[in-house]
Each structure stands twice: as C-alpha cells, then as structure tokens.
Amino acid sequence: MAYTDPEVAWVGLTEDQAKAQGIKVKKGLFPWAASGRAIANGRDEGFTKLLFDDSPEAHGHGRILGGGIVGTHAGDMIGEIALAIEMGADAVDIGKTIHPHPTLGES
C-alpha cells in the first residue's frame, strides 16, 4: 500500500512474479474512466487489475492470484481482493458478487 495521490494498493502475485514462477495468468483490467462513481467524484484516473490462473487445468475458471488498485480509496478496497485470494475465488465468483451502484468498490 502506498499512500500517494492517487493511492496504490496491491495484494498477491504481480504479473512479473507469476511469470518468474512459470504461472500463466489472464488479466482483467477495469479503467476507472468507465466508473460512474469515479467520474462523479472527478477522480477517474485510476484502474483495478485482477490476475487469474490461466493454466490449462483451470479450464477458463482460474482462481484469482493477485490484484492491484490505483485510485482514490484504493487502500479501503484492496481487502476485498485479499479476501477473494484467501477464499480461492475465481472469475465466476467475482462476477457474481453484487455491489451497490454506483460505488468505487464495484470497479
């Protein structure tokens, strides 16, 4: 966690760490310029990135391995990614999680 402006928060593996360990990953990247709440706050310069296991054994439903958030309140939201990693959540689990709208947490 870096308390900069905007904040930078990360948990789990990075793309470089996964590559060094020979782990194939699939990346999901959501730009906050598409977030209604970030736009309303006038702070749409951030993004949320998730890394999923993309090994053949995962069959397209790989567990989340890491994630990062750059943006306002990133430190308040990174815990949700940490919990997803701890619980072994996959992309389907993340997609089925309902969040209030519009919030930064849905990003």
Positions marked active-site: 101
Nearest to 35 by CA among 85, 10, 70: 70
User: Rg of the chain over CA atoms, in angstroms?
Assistant: 14
User: CB atoms < 10 A from the CB of 69, how many?
Assistant: 29
Tell me if residue 44 falls in helix, strand or coil. Answer: coil
Q: Which residues contact 21 (CB under 8 A, 6 or more apart)?
A: 13
Residue type, 5: D
